[in-house]
Structures are given as C-alpha cells and as structure tokens.
Structure 1
Amino acid sequence: MNNDQNLPSGNLSAKLQAIAAAVQDAAQSCQGDVTALLALLRQLEKLHKEIRDGIFQDSLPDNRQRLYALLKDIESEGGWPYIERMRLQAFLVNLPVEIAQENPVIKNTNDSLDTETGAEW
C-alpha cells in the first residue's frame, strides 16, 4: 500500500463529488430510456471491477499494521463496496399483468438451475 501517493482528502472528496454529479446527470439524461440506463449501470460495474482488480489489489497492505488500518476503515466506514444486481422477481413486477399471465413467472429465482430443462441460467 502506498499512502505517499494518496490525494489530500479534500481534493479526493471534491473529485468524488464531481464524479457522483456526472453520474447523476448521465442518469437523469437517460431517464425513460431503459437501454441507456442499463448501459450506464454496466459501465459503472465495469469501472468498479477494473478498479478493484487492478489499482486496488496492487495497493493492498503489505504488513499487519496497514492491514489492520484498512480493516478498521472498512468496518467504520460501512463495509465493503458492492454493486447489487436487481433480482429477476423485482424486475418482473414491472411487467403488465397481461404479459405476466401469458408467461408464468419462475417461482424460485434464487436457484441457478432451471428445474424443467436442467440448464443453468
């Protein structure tokens, strides 16, 4: 972990606020366009993965004291960052009733195996 290259917290905070504002603006400009909003969510997920698997992993602590400090920060600041995906059942709630009746909803969306065909989702 290389703390010497960290941005001053005020500068980082300003950059994070600017990023959040840009994402909010992008989301607002896509309002009503589900395809564009999905593309935005995919881009955010991709950025999260790139940062986590690249720069973040390269910056992980190299001794116990720094590891302890990182774990303490994770605990005190709200845990590990996670991008949650919408559950299929929550997604299907928005379907019109006629379509939902034509295509029955899968009862157990927690299973990763289709019980009728044996195929994985």
Structure 2
Amino acid sequence: MSADSPETSSSERLAQNDWEARLSSELAGLQGLAAEVDGDPEALLLLLRQLEGLHRTIQDGPFRASLPADRGALFNLLQGMERSGGWPYIPRLQLRTFMDLMQSGDDDSALAA
C-alpha cells in the first residue's frame, strides 16, 4: 500500500489499515496451510501453483486495469514500486531500466526498445 498523503482522510487510513489487517490474516492462513503440509512436496507444489494462478489473475485483471493511463502517474507508481522492492517477478534492475527509459525520452519509441 502507498504511504499516507496529506489528502488521505482518517477514514481512508482506517479502511486501509482494516484491509491490511485482513490481508495479513489471509497470508497467515496460507502460511498455516504450508506448515500443515511441510515435507509433502506434492501438496506444497499444489499450493505454489494455486498462488501463482492467483497472482496472474490479479496481475492480468484488476491490477492491470487499475494502472494509471497518465504517463507521469504511471512513472510515479513505478518509482514507488522500485523503492519498495519492485514488481513481483520483475527484478529491481529491470524495473529501474524501464523507469530510466521512461524518463530519458518524451517519445514512446524508447519504450519499444
């Protein structure tokens, strides 16, 4: 989640905290499932495949749909992602290179390279 901005109301921060608490709870449940099948590679592989499927569903659906259409806002989002550890499955160096390409030229041909 992003850091609170001055425009963020206390009710928005509370809702964000509730969401983050729910997320932490769900992740703890998944960690518990993994612990239950510790030592069972087939069950752990199933869990990993399901998690990867969920990751792709979120990435290709709601995440992609929520990306800013404005180049500046997209760049700011990418900068924040780079500072906080990058995008899952995209190493930081590649994300940094993508951001540098966005910043270096105003034409979209730099992004096609």
Q: Same fold (TM over 0.5)?
A: yes
CA deviations on 1:37-91 (whole Å, 9 max, x unpaired) are 11000000000010001111111111133212211211111111129xxxxxxxx
Moved more, 36-45 or 15-24: 15-24
Task: State the AA in 1 paired with 2:69.
Answer: D
Shift in CA distance, 18/29, structure 1 to aligned 2, threshold 3 Å: same
What are the within-5 Å matches in structure 2 for residues 87-106 of structure 1? none
Q: Deviations over 1:79-116 (max 9, x none)?
A: 11129xxxxxxxxxxxxxxxxxxxxxxxxxxxxxxxxx
- Using the TM superposition, give the Cα deviation of residue 12 of structure 1 relative to its aligned residue in structure 2, in angstroms: 2.4
The yes-or-no answer on 1:67 pairing with 2:74 is yes
Of 48, 52, 55, the residue aligned with 2:55 is 48
Aligned to 1:37: 44
Select which of 4, 22, 26 maps to 1:15.
22
Structure 1 segments of 4+ aligned residues over 2 angstroms from their partners: 6-9
Structure 1 unaligned spans of 5+: 1-5, 84-121
Larger relative CO (CA 8 A, sep 6+): 1 or 2?
1
Q: Which runs of 5+ in 2 are unaligned?
A: 1-11, 91-113
Q: What is the TM-score normalised by the length of structure 1? A: 0.58
Alpha-carbon separation, structure 2, partners of 1:12 and 1:77: 19
* Percent of residue pairs identical: 46
SS at match of 1:28: helix
Count of equivalent residues:
78
Letter in 2 for 1:35: E
The structure with more helix, counted as a fraction of residues: 2
Structure possessing the higher radius of gyration over alpha carbons: 1
TM-score for both structures, normalised by structure 2:
0.61
